[in-house]
Every structure is written in structure tokens, then in C-alpha cells.
Homo-oligomer: A and B are copies of this chain.
Amino acid sequence: MADSPAREESAFCPVYAALNLLQEKWTLHIIRALLEGPKGFNELSRAVGGVNPATLSQRLEHLVSLGVVEKTVESYMPPRTRYRLTPSGRELEEVIQAVERWARKHLKAPVS
């Protein structure tokens, strides 16, 4: 069985890293929602649907650390922050569009 962590230890592979990022639960949904435009935390939470606030915060922090999303503080009292895709983040639109084309062509509602 090949459960060795060999890949993680080898030279950095950007594609492997990107697949790891995009498989984090909610991340693809967050990117899709932000492609519609910048959003506040609660608005984003509603748009994504079902994610708990702690997880959403964590995902956003990771995306910010990779330069995919940027966070701007619009006011402190009351606290208001907004999240938007950076130019690099907006280029993920190609990925989301490819998923959309595939989904509309191939996924059907489950027969219940």
C-alpha cells in the first residue's frame, strides 16, 4: 500500500498544492460566491450555505494567506469587513466555469 507521505516531502508541485487547496471543504463554493462580487462575512456565509462560521473563517484565512482573497476592514464601529478575490483569485473563474460546463452537461438530479 502506498501510504507514504513521499509526495509531500518531494519538491514543491504547484498543481498538487492547488488540488489540495481546492479540495478543502467549502473552498470551491467560497470562490464561486466571491466571483459574484465582494461580500461581507455573513453575506458570504449565506451565499455558501451550511458552512459554520469557524470553518468559513479558517478557509478565508488560508485563501488570504495564499493571495487568492483579500480582506478589507471598512469600519471598526460597528465592525465591517469585506472579502474579495485578488486578481489571482479571479483567474480561478476558469476553473469554476469548467466545473459549471461539466456539471450542466453531465449531472442529473438523483432519482428518488
A interface residues (Cβ-Cβ under 8 A, vs B): 1-8, 12, 14-19, 22-29, 32, 42, 45-46, 49-53, 66-68, 88, 91-92, 94-95, 97-110
Contact = CB atoms under 8 A, between A and B. Distances in A.
A54 B17 CA distance: 23
Nearest to A31: B19
20 contacts: A2-B42, A2-B46, A3-B45, A7-B49, A7-B50, A12-B109, A14-B106, A15-B104, A17-B103, A19-B28, A19-B99, A22-B23, A23-B25, A25-B25, A68-B106, A91-B102, A94-B98, A95-B95, A95-B99, A95-B102
Q: For the complex formed by this chain, how many copies does it contain in all?
A: 2
A7 to B, nearest CB: 4
